[in-house]
């Protein structure tokens, strides 16, 4: 259980929900404090190629407290994930040292302000993801293609881009659209938030520059989390 410091700094103006997507530069979050933890991510065992590394934790907001939830697995139906749909996945929790950092807590709180507007849920899933590329092999941040996640709200926060090109994030109103309504490389500190039922999303592959390894580090936050049917509980609602 953690006390969130100065949450009033992140209160959003009164609104019913997002009229569109929101792109912010979170200057209050020092990404350099978050970057070292990405070096310790385990490989994603559900993807071939060894280019993705990942952790996952879930949190609940109670007043000014950030409460880490018991370990949960990840599940999406084939309707949302044609590559790994109907597969119950399990990832290691985020490291305690990261969770204790004020900058991490600020990020979760910032996302929660949007959740209050757009979702009846208090529980948030936080995916910590590194995508790796080399001169011989590209890294694919979205191997499932243009998709939805099956949640109320999605946030993508860029922590680092090292020695790569590509990795452009797109939003589409329809999966069949040839042109996205939003297209941008998210640079460190930029936070994109959008309603999952309003936009399909995708991020293009990353390529290493030169002969060294390249990395793309992001947090993906969802409200609510994505649980197997037997783990869904009304306790995560307001």
For residues 210 and 28, the answer to whether their CB atoms sit within 8 Å is no
Instruction: List b or e across 36-65, with b for residues whose CB sees 16 or more CB atoms inside 10 angstroms.
Output: ebbeebeebeeeeeebbbbbbbbbbbeeee
pLDDT of res. 46: 87
pLDDT interval class at 191 (50, 70, 90): very high
pLDDT digits (tens, 9 = 90+) for 224-238: 877 666 666 544 554
Q: Are 8 and 71 in contact (CB under 8 A)?
A: no
At residue 49, the pLDDT reads 86
Instruction: List C-alpha distances in Å: 170 to 41, 58, 216.
Output: 25, 26, 16
Q: What is the mean pLDDT of residues 43-67?
A: 91
Q: How far apart are CA 7 and CA 25, in angstroms?
A: 17
Mean pLDDT of all residues in 30-52: 94
C-alpha distances (whole Å) from 36 to each of 39, 58, 130, 159, 209 are 6, 21, 12, 10, 21
Q: Is the pLDDT of residue 48 over 90?
A: no
State mean pLDDT over 213-233.
84
Mean pLDDT on 107-114: 95
Per-residue pLDDT reduced to its tens digit, 164-181: 999 999 999 998 888 999
Q: Which residue has the higher pLDDT, 137 or 1?
A: 137
Domains and CATH numbers, the chain: 30-228 (2.60.120.620)
Cis peptide before 224 (omega within 30 of 0): yes
Say what the pLDDT of residue 3 is.
45
Q: How much is the average pLDDT of 116-137? A: 93
pLDDT in tens, 59-92: 998 888 899 999 988 776 566 555 555 578 899 9
Q: Both tokens of residue 213?
A: 């390894």
- For residue 219, is pLDDT > 90? yes
Q: Is the pLDDT of residue 14 over 80?
A: no
CA 37/CA 130 separation, integer angstroms: 10
Q: What is the per-residue pLDDT across 16-39, written as a single tens digit (0 to 9) for each? A: 577 789 999 999 999 999 999 999
Contact 142, 175 (CB under 8 A): no
Average predicted confidence (pLDDT) for the chain? 86
pLDDT tens for 139-157 read 999 988 899 888 999 999 9
Over range 5-17, report the average pLDDT.
Answer: 46
């Amino acid at each position: 259980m953690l006390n969130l410091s100065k949450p009033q700094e992140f209160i959003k103006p009164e609104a019913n929900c997002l009229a569109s997507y929101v792109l912010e530069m979170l200057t209050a979050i020092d990404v350099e404090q978050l970057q070292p933890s990405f070096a310790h991510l385990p490989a994603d065992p559900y993807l071939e190629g060894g280019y993705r590394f990942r952790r996952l934790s879930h949190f609940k907001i109670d007043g000014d407290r950030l409460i880490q939830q018991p370990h949960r697995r990840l599940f999406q139906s084939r309707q949302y994930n044609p590559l790994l749909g109907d597969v119950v996945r399990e990832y290691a929790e985020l490291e305690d040292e990261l969770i204790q950092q004020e900058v991490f807590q600020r990020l979760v709180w910032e996302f929660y302000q949007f959740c209050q507007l757009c979702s009846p849920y208090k529980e948030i899933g936080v995916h910590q993801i590194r995508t790796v590329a080399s001169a011989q092999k590209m890294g694919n941040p979205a191997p499932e293609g243009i998709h939805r996640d099956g949640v109320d709200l999605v946030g993508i926060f860029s922590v680092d881009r090292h020695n790569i090109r590509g990795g452009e994030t797109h939003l589409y109103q329809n999966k069949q659209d040839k042109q996205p309504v939003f297209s941008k490389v998210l640079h460190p500190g930029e936070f994109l938030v959008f309603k999952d039922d309003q936009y399909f999303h995708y991020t293009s592959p990353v390529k290493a520059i030169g002969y060294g390894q390249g990395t793309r580090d992001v947090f993906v936050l969802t409200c609510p989390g994505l649980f197997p049917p037997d783990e869904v509980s009304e306790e995560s609602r307001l």
